[in-house]
Structure 1
Amino acid sequence: MGALSIGANALTTNLAALQVIGHNIANVNTEGYSRQNVQLETAGYQKFGNGYFGKGVNIATVERSHDAYLTREAQITSAIASADAIRYSRLQQLESAFPLGEGGLGSALNSMLNAWGDVSSSPSDLTARTVVIARAEEFASRLRNTAGQLDSLRSNTYQQVEGAVNVVNQLASDLAKVNQRIIETQGGTHTPNDLFDQRDQLVREINKYVQTSSVAGEGGAINLFVGGSQPLVLGQNAQRLAVGRDSADPSRVQVLFTQAGMSTPIADANLGGGEIAGLVRFMNQDLTVVENQLGRLALASAISLNEQQALGLDLQGNPGTNFFVPPANATAQGANTNTGNAQISTSVSDPTALMASDYDIRFEAGGVNIIRMSDGQSTVVPSLPAVIDGLNFNLDAGAGNVGDRFAVRPFAAVARNIQLAIGSPDRLAAASPVQVVPGVGNSTGLSVESLYAVSNSPNLTDPVTLTFQADGTFTATGLGPGNPPPDNVGPPATYNFSPGVPMELNGWSLTLRGTPTAGDTFTVDAAPASSIAQNSGNAVGVLAMRDRPTFEGIALADGYISLFSELGTQVQGAKFASEFSASIAQGAETARTNVAGVNLDEEAARLLQFQQAYQASAKFLQVAQSTFDSLLQTVGR
């Protein structure tokens, strides 16, 4: 009977091995499946008088090929790759909203500014003035359309975050159920390999959306944590994530961990990897940066043109009115925890000093701390109002208590709401309120290039005479207060002269070309009403704005290049990060599958091996049966 037992055990064992191999082959394309192997052990021995005889083979267990370290590494790198890939994809969509060439904002901005050139050549030409208004309306329209695309992208991204969070919640619920089934098997001596694969695959799927950390739980179950320490899954219990808006800044999205009816915000930095982290980073950082760049372009352009328009005179001789509708002051959003009743807003004091950033305002014991969010630069002032980065931070009402915080986005709504204020071409303030009259006896070596107002000085139209000296310097008589002191003490006190370099005095800018001769004089005073129709000084002033350093040293006309360069840098950085993290994730997954994956060539070899073993076992059982039958026949005689 021993031989029959050995043969029967060998037959069933090899058949089981063939079943496991068939299971592997059947699941070669099943995602998350780990190759299984039959672990064999000897069935022991039996002692006889003439020695110890083996009792055959038994199946010890069926185990899966699995490396916990490689599995975890693949999950983490996959999470990071998912975050980088979704962020790169979103940035590409954002980049498409900012085309170059004739369809771009840069072309519209320069077309608007350059259109003043025809007005400067023919200030009484209503057609040229109408073209200026049309180009300005086109620029404003493109700003609004671009802002609308950004709003749509922000809304879609928020919905995508909500969808990803719902998927995570469902996967977490499924994982809790698998944990429950694993726990129910813990009394057995073997491991439920397919349940473990389901468990690991669910963890892998969750990490595609949000990076987790894991701790082994009861009976093979796994506990998952998000945001560093928030328990998403504990054994057979699953918690939920939710999506909300930042109370201090509704434009920002927040991922919330909910438990027992309480919601805890998860800091963006603690999300780690996963699509949710990539989407949150895009929405809260990348999109915000571009919105601020776009808003600053719109705000600086509108304020600068309004200020220059106000310095000129229209065809009726009236001071210029607003070119664009003045952008509304930005209102600060107070935190829910504030105890004071302060109301804060910002307005523009210098359009050439604006920084494309949001600001965090904090009331502290030592004063008011205003933090520029783009780079974290902090400025502490004793109280409000205060002027920082070309912005007036105004305390409109109430008072702040220590600990109060406010978030303000000075540029967020500007491009979305920009509108042209001027409609009639005769309202363009192309004329300058001042004129320059060369002296009768002047030489021909010096000529006037331009004269226009640059500030609303009370002494703007006061008569001022410039007289050139033999050394090429000049004196100025009739200047009002607030002008720069002479460069040379004298006597007589004189200013240095450089051809083509504007001379700014009494609120006007005069540019002369050529070489002066001693005794040359130029008188600047009020322009007569009769010259308004042919006066284009202020139009020249608008044209000069093109080269005015406006965006951190970059000219107004190149403001769009600054914006696009910033966006291009973000896109290129995201592309590199996406490609690099994808390569790392692919390497980690390859290392995992080299251990856990099914190799059909190996399975074919093993199939042949155990098929032959099965056939040999059957043959051995047949021989043992034949021998036993012969023995029975002999004994039966």
Structure 2
Amino acid sequence: MADSLLSIGKTAVLANSRLLNTTGNNIANINTPGYVRQRTTFVAEQFGLGVGQGTTERLVNEFTQKQLRRDTTNAAYSSQYLAEANRLDALFSNAANSIATGMNNLFQQIQTANNDPTQLSNRQLVIGTSQSLLDQFKSMSTLIADQEQFLNQQLDANVSEVNDLISQIATYNNDIVSYGSSSSRPVPLDLLDRRDSAILKLAEYVDIQTVNSNSGEKLVFMASGQALVVERGEFNLFSLRGEPDPNDRVIQLTLQSNNDVRIELDAKGVGGKIGALTDYRLQVVNPVQRQLGQLALTLADSMNTQNKLGLTLNGTIGQDLFRLPAAQGLSFSTNSANARVSVSIEPGESGKLPPNDFLLEVIDANNIRLTPLDDMGNPITANAKNINSPTGIPGVFNSADVADGDLYGLQLQVDAAVAGDRFVLKPLNAAARSMQMATNRAEDVALAGPLRGDFTAANLGNGRIEGVKIFSTDPGSSAFTSSSLVDGPYTVTFQGQDSADNDRFVFSITDINGVTLGEARFSSNNFNNVLENSVGSPSLKDTLGFDFSITGVPRAGDTFTIAFNENGFNDNRNGLELSALQNASLVRRNPEPFGAAVNQYSLNQSYATMVGNIGERTRQARTADEANAAILEQTTLWYESLSGVNLDEEAADLVRFQQSYAAAAKILATSQTVFDTLLQAVR
């Protein structure tokens, strides 16, 4: 009996000592990050001979742990996304940075100049306000570019941290496997804690899934299926590459077994902080930079185009007010050595420019293809433009080289490229910070109309020339020189009705030498757009570069003159056209064909839409962050309810185990007493 009591007492003391050690370890590590509460359990020995084998294990619910990782990924994603979005939202919500205010100030100054076109100071204000607007564009675009660089720096740092965590997890797997699973050499529980902590930390950066292997290793995969940590301690690492643009960092997975094998990861679904950075760049930063460049180019090109249709204070045809930048195409590493492409805006075609990047592919010696790219960088093949060059490459190509006349407002110069060469074109990326003024002379603001229409005093009718419209002042495609009309002024004579031609009304147009340039015929007495109705092709409107209408009722033989507007200093007709650009639909929304939908904004509408999208993205990010933070807090409490250390519970266990330890010690004392009694009985 004494022998049994001794055995029972010994196992009881050892068991309770182990329970006290486990409880004490829990209390000691209550503030240790990643520590999982431990519990020791025992089984009874057979035949009532005390306590049997004891096992210490971590209290972890696998489902709760996976839920915690998932919610950690979501919360890290929304928090990082919101932090980046807040920066851009604060930039554009500040009234002092408003591009809309700058544009409105410019058009207000143009209107002031229209009120008194003879005042040089008013025109100088137009030049000064234009320069201020360019400075605003440059400042905003530079700040966005700086944020893009900051995003890349964060990506570099995060990828380095992720690779470190991946290698740590692989090392932990190796260490755990080396212990085996036998009871004689159990895996240290703190090693499992460290591995789980590393996996949870990894979940902050990317969305991951884990699988338990038979050997005790944790296999880690991305949510999209790519392996990060596999069996036998092997792992794959992240890397960043920008191809062809080094600033557009693309995430790749590099195989440890073969560094030459790189898997490019889809930007969608990466999750975590890295996913937030890539998504934010693709969804917000890049589109805003392109839209800002599109707005700047459209405004500048539209004003250039209209200014060239007017007359300056010096009495000459207007020229460009702004100098538009060109951009170099980004060449892929597989291109031929000397392949080069540059892209610029075709003058007067900015209304066809969508807020997209483009892919240029050289098909063969005579054919190239231009395809707009979506926000993710994928080609929108339905809107590709094919260009055939009978003279081959190199060459300069614009809207005249495509069947529908819509090359997205671009002018391409392709040099030394061969079949298979590809380029990414980003004409908008640096446009807002690269534009410059083409002149600083106030006299170059062309407020006057270049033509003057008049009637002859001897006319019998009351016909008048109205609505003179200028379409081109290019000496190569119109009747204009820099300061006159070729063989002008022109005489317009109303011939009356021609009974031989279905009673049509006929006007003849002659030059200063009496040479007839053409006739215009009307079936009614509505004499709008006289030159457009000229007989023959092309019409006189296309060859002369202007048109006009005649109002009232002219009589046969009445004549009218169209002359160059010499000394037209007090004229603001072209200035009014410049002012009208403020509300005109000039900015293309997307690369969809014109007419398929409402596809153009005004300048202010374009800017308001851009700012509204930034605000909406920020609001969505704020809502998602609040929701994900609340869910993570709830999941953490759920996880901690089992795996976290509860001081009240541990204190109660400590008292209970102390009492059971003392009781076990009493068993040993009782055993000693019984043994002594037996010895005395046999003396």
Alignment TM-score, normalising by the size of structure 1: 0.84
> What does residue 602 of structure 2 align with?
555
Q: Secondary structure at the match of 1:608?
A: helix
Unaligned runs of 5+ in 1: 46-53, 497-503
Q: Specify the SS of the correspondent of 1:180.
A: helix
Instruction: Give the aligned partner of residue 394 of structure 1.
Output: 412
Question: How far apart are residue 192 of structure 1 and its match?
Answer: 2.5
Whether contact under 8 Å (2:228, 2:237) holds in the other structure is: no
Mapped pair 1:383 → 2:412: no
CA contact (8 A) 2:80 2:273 kept: yes
Alpha-carbon distance change, 404 to 620 in structure 1, aligned in 2, over 3 angstroms: same
Question: Residues 478 and 115 from structure 1, CA distance in 2 versus in 1: closer, same or farther, beyond 3 angstroms?
Answer: farther
What SS does structure 2 have at the residue aligned with 1:32?
Answer: coil
**Partner in structure 1 of residue 354 of structure 2:** 355
Distance 1:541 1:382, change over 3 A: closer
How far off its partner does 1:359 sit? 1.3
Using the TM superposition, give the Cα deviation of residue 591 of structure 1 relative to its aligned residue in structure 2, in angstroms: 3.3
Residues 284-309 of structure 1: per-residue CA shift (max 9 Å, x gap): 44211111001101111111111112
Partner of 1:320 in structure 2? 318
Q: Does the 8 Å contact 2:351/2:409 carry over to 1?
A: no
Alpha-carbon offset, residue 3 of structure 1: 0.8
Q: Name the counterpart of 1:159.
A: 153
Aligned residue in 2 for 1:30: 32
Determine whether 1:13 maps to 2:31. Answer: no
Task: Quote how far apart the aligned CAs of 1:44 are.
Answer: 1.4
Which of 77, 81, 86 is the equivalent residue of 1:92? 86
Structure 2 residue identity aligned to 1:133: I
Corresponding residue for 2:594? none
Following superposition, the deviation at residue 186 of structure 1 comes to 0.9
- Does residue 1:58 correspond to 2:52, yes or no? yes
Match of 1:615 in 2: 662
Alignment pair present for 1:538 and 2:537: no
CA distance in 2, matches of 1:393, 1:593: 63
| Aligned-residue RMSD, C-alpha | 3.7
- CA 59–393 in structure 1, closer or farther in 2 if over 3 Å, else same: farther
Distance (whole Å) between structure 2 residues aligned to residue 33 and residue 603 of structure 1: 15
Cα distance in structure 2, aligned partners of 1:459 and 1:24 = 94
- How far residue 96 of structure 1 moved from its aligned partner, in angstroms, is 2.7
User: How many residue pairs align between the two structures?
Assistant: 604
Alignment of 1:282-321 (within 5 A): 282-321=280-319
The separation in 2 between residues aligned to 1:319 and 1:492, in whole angstroms, is 34
Match for residue 514 of structure 2? none
Distance 1:508 1:71, change over 3 A: farther
- Percentage of pairs with the same residue: 25
- Choose 569-578 or 362-371, whichever is displaced more: 362-371
Residue identity matched to 1:314: T
Please give the per-residue CA displacement for 1:483-519, whole angstroms capped at 9, x wherever unaligned: xx99x973446559xxxxxxx997568899xxx8766
| SS of aligned partner of 2:567 | helix
Cα gap change, 1:239 to 1:342, in 2 (>3 Å): closer
Q: Which moved more, 1:92-101 or 1:299-308?
A: 92-101
Please give the secondary structure, in 2, of the residue aligned with 1:317.
Answer: coil
Query: In 1, Cα distance between the equivalents of 2:156 and 2:173?
Result: 26
1:449-464 correspondence runs (5 A)? 453-456=470-473, 458=478
Match for residue 617 of structure 2? 570
**Take 1:438 and 1:102, find their aligned partners in 2: how far apart are those partners?**
52
Question: What does the per-residue CA deviation read over 1:351-393, in whole Å, with 9 as the maximum and x for residues that have no partner?
Answer: 1222101112345699755332237532252536445463235
CA distance in 2, matches of 1:341, 1:69: 58
1:606 maps to what in 2? 653
Which aligned pairs between 1:37-48 and structure 2 lie closer than 5 A?
37-45=39-47
Distance 1:245 1:287 in 2: 16
Q: 1:340: how far off?
A: 9.3
* 1:107 Cα deviation after fit: 0.9
Shift in alpha-carbon separation, 1:595–1:491, aligned structure 2, 3 A? same
> CA separation in 1, counterparts of 2:203 and 2:460?
81
**Residues 357, 542 of structure 1: alpha-carbon distance in 2 compared, 3 angstrom cutoff:** same
Identify unmatched segments of 5+ residues in structure 2.
390-396, 497-503, 511-518, 530-540, 589-599
Contact 1:554 1:562 in 2 (8 A): no
2:583–2:602: 8 Å Cα contact kept in structure 1? yes
Change beyond 3 A, Cα 1:39–1:479: farther
1:253, distance to aligned residue in structure 2 (A): 0.5
CA–CA separation in structure 1 for the residues paired with 2:225 and 2:370: 30
Distance (whole Å) between structure 1 residues aligned to residue 374 and residue 31 of structure 2: 47
CA shift in 2, pair 1:120/1:274, >3 Å = same
SS in 1 for 2:286: helix
Counterparts of residues 188-337 of structure 1 (less than 5 Å): 188-189=182-183, 190-217=186-213, 219-226=215-222, 228-232=225-229, 234-246=231-243, 248-258=244-254, 259=256, 260-262=258-260, 264-269=262-267, 272-328=270-326, 330-337=327-334
Kept in 2: contact 1:63–1:191 (CA 8 A): no
Q: Is the 8 A contact 1:464 1:477 kept in 2?
A: no
Other-structure match for 1:373: 373
Q: 1:49 corresponds to which residue?
A: none
